[in-house]
Structure 1
Amino acid sequence: MGEEIKVANKINATFVRPATFYLNGFSNIPYTKFYYVFLCFIYIVTVLGNSFLMSVIYLVKTLHTPKYMIVFNLALTDLCGSTALIPKVLDTFLFDRRYIVYEACLSYMFFVWFFAFVQSWTLVTMSYDRLIAISIAVILLFVWVFSLSLLAAAVGLIDRLSFCGSLVVQSFFCDHGPVYYLACNDTSLNDTIADLVIIIVMFLPPVLIVLTYVCIAIALSRIASGVERLKALKTCTSHLILVALFFLPLVGTNIAVIISYIHPNARIFNSTLTHTIPALLNPIIYSLKTEEVVHMFCLYAFPNLRIAH
C-alpha cells in the first residue's frame, strides 16, 4: 500500500491529505508552564488594552478622524491576531493537545498570518497618514482585501500537496513553511508564494516606512522654527516605536535563520514573543503618547475632573 501511494504521488494522480498534524513546538523545555502563564497574562492585557482603546475611539466623536481610524484598525488587528494565536497555543501545549485536524491547521495558519499581514500594512498606512492627506478608509480596505487574497492563495496552495511522510510540524502553530515542507510532492509553487509573502509582509513595509520618513525629514528641514520641528517630530515617535516593536524582531529572526543557525526552541520562543508582545504594547504606547486619548481616559475614569477643567 505504501508503494502504491508513492507511485501515485510521483505521477500526481492523487493527493494524500492526513487526518491530523502534530505540533512539536516547546518540546523538551523545562518549566514551560510558567511561559504559558506569561502568554495567558499577555493575552488578557492585550484584550483589555485594545478593547479599551477601540471603545474610546468609537465612543468619543472627536476622535472620529483618519488618524484614529488607523489606530482603531491597528487595535482591531492586534486583538484578532492575538485571539487567533494565543488561546490555541495554550490549549495545544498547556493541555497537551498537540494533534490538530488538517482543515483546522490550514484555518489556523490563515488567520495568524492574515492578521500579521494586515498589521504590517496598517503600520505602513499610518506612516503615509503623516505625510499626505489621503483617503484612509480606502487604503485600509485595500489592505484587508489584498491581505485576504494573498494569504488565501498561500494557504489554498497547500491543499494541492500530498503528505505521505512525517506529520510533525516543527513549530508552535500551523506555520506556513513548516507545514508545506512536510509535503512529498512538488512544492516549487509554494516556495514562490512563501518568498512573496515574506517580501510583502516583512521587508517591503519597512522600506516604504523608511522612505516616508525620509520625505518627512526633508519637509521638516524646510521648517524654520526649531520648536515647530520638534513638535512635528513628537507626533511620529509613537508610530516609530510601534514599527520597531513589530518589524525588528520579525525581520531579525528571519535574517538570522537564513544566514546562521538558531536552535529550534530559541526560534520558537522568539517567534511567540514577536507575534504577541506588539499587540500587548501597542495600545499602551499609543494611549500614553497621544494627548487626546489620555485626556478622554481621565475624563471617563475621573468624572470630577470635568468640573476642574
Structure 2
Amino acid sequence: MATGNYCVFPEFILTGLSKKSELQMPLFVLFLGIYIVTVVGNLGMITLIRLSSLLHTPMYYFLSSLSFIDLCHSTVITPKMLVNFVAEKNIISYTGCMTQLFFFLIFAIAECHMLAAMAYDRYVAICNPLLYNAIMSYQSYISMISGVYIIGVVCASAHTGFMIRSQFCNLDVINHYFCDLLPLLELAHSSTYVNELVILICGTCNIVVPTLTILTSYIFIIATILHIRSTEGRYKAFSTCSSHILAVAVFFGSAAFMYLQPSSVSSMDQGKVSSVFYTIVVPMLNPLIYSLRNKDVSTALKKILERKSFV
C-alpha cells in the first residue's frame, strides 16, 4: 500500500474492560477505590520505611523501591482508564499511546527485576547471614537498583522505538483498556518481524533471567531452611520470605497468563482480566501483603503511631 493510506499521527480507540454501558459507573467506582488504596498504601510504605530506623536495611530499601514502582505502574494505567469509564469515546492520541506504552514497560520490566533482586537479598540473608552486611552493602543496593531501572529504560526504549516505526491507520481499535505491546502489534499495517524479535530478546532478559534468579535463590533458601534444626528457626526463616513469594506468584502468574497464551480475540478478552491483576490489583496488594505478613513493618507502624499520639 502507499504511504498515503496511513496517518502520520493517528488516534486509537480503546475498547476498555467492558462495552456494557450499565457497568461503566460501577467499574469507575471500583477502580477509583482500588487506585486510592494503591496510592495511600504505597506512599504509606515508602514514608514508613523512611521514618522508621528499624526498617533502614537493604530488605526494606528494596521494598520501598518496589512500592515506588507499583505506585508509578498503577498511575500510568489507572487514571486514563478511569477517564474512559465516564467519557463518551475512549480515544487516545498516538503520542499519548506511545508515552503510556513506554512508561508502562519501564515499570513492568523494573518490577520483574526488582522481585529478582529481593529474592537474591533473601538468599544472602538466610544462606550467608554472617556475610550479609558485607555483600548487601549500601553500594551494592544502589548498584542493583540502578541496574533495575537501566534495564527497564533500555528495553522500554527498544520496544517503543520499533513500535513508533510501525504504521497504523487512523482510529484503529485497540482491544484493551491501555496501550500494550500485543494489542498494538495486532493493528500494525507494516511488518512486525523486528518487533517480535525484540520481544523475544527482551522477554528472555526480563522474564527468564528474573525467574531463574528467583527459583535458584529459593532452591538454596529451602535447602538451608530444611537444615535448620529448631522449628522456631525454620518458621522465622520462612516468614521472612513468605510475603515475597506471594508477591512473586501473583505478579508473574497473572503476567504469564496474559503473554504466554495463544493470541486470539477470545484470549485477548480473557487476558484483560489477568492484565487487571498485574497492572492494577498487584500494586494495591503488595503493600498490604508486606504490612500484614511482616512483623517488622507492623512494629514500626505501631511505634510511629504511638510517637504521633504523644506529640
Q: TM-score range by the shorter chain?
A: 0.7 to 0.9
Q: Report the secondary structure of 1:28's partner residue.
A: coil
Corresponding residue number in structure 1 for 2:284: 280
Gaps of 5+ in 2: 125-134
**TM-score, structure 1 as length reference:** 0.87
Change (3 A) 1:298 1:42: same
User: Aligned partners of 2:18 and 2:246: how far apart in 1?
Assistant: 33
Corresponding residue number in structure 2 for 1:223: 228
Contact 1:127 1:213 in 2 (8 A): yes
Summarize deviations over 1:176-218 as a string: whole Å, max 9, x none: 1211322222210011112334444444423321111001122
User: Aligned partners of 1:167 and 1:304: how far apart in 2?
Assistant: 54
Contact 1:20 1:167 in 2 (8 A): yes
Summarize deviations over 1:99-158 as a string: whole Å, max 9, x none: 211111100111112111111111111100011233222111101011101111100111
Corresponding residue number in structure 2 for 1:45: 37
Q: Report the secondary structure of 2:8's partner residue.
A: coil
More helix by share: 2
Q: Which amino acid aligns with 2:8?
A: R
Change (3 A) 1:157 1:91: same
User: Aligned partners of 1:262 and 1:108: how far apart in 2?
Assistant: 24
Contact 1:25 1:265 in 2 (8 A): no
Q: Superposition pairs for residues 26-41 of structure 1, below 5 Å?
A: 26-29=17-20, 30-41=22-33
Summarize deviations over 1:244-287 as a string: whole Å, max 9, x none: 121112213333x3288745443323312331111111111111
Gaps of 5+ in 1: 1-5
The partner residue of 2:10 within 7, 14, 19 is 19
User: Aligned partners of 1:103 and 1:189: how far apart in 2?
Assistant: 21
Q: CA RMSD in A?
A: 2.4
2:243 is aligned with 1:238: yes
Percent of aligned positions that are identical? 29
**TM-score, structure 2 as length reference:** 0.87
Contact 2:46 2:68 in 1 (8 A): yes
Contact 1:81 1:115 in 2 (8 A): yes
Contact 2:10 2:168 in 1 (8 A): no
Q: Which amino acid aligns with 1:290?
A: N
The partner residue of 2:143 within 126, 138, 143 is 138
Corresponding residue number in structure 1 for 2:295: 291
User: Aligned partners of 1:181 and 1:266: how far apart in 2?
Assistant: 16
Change (3 A) 1:203 1:221: same
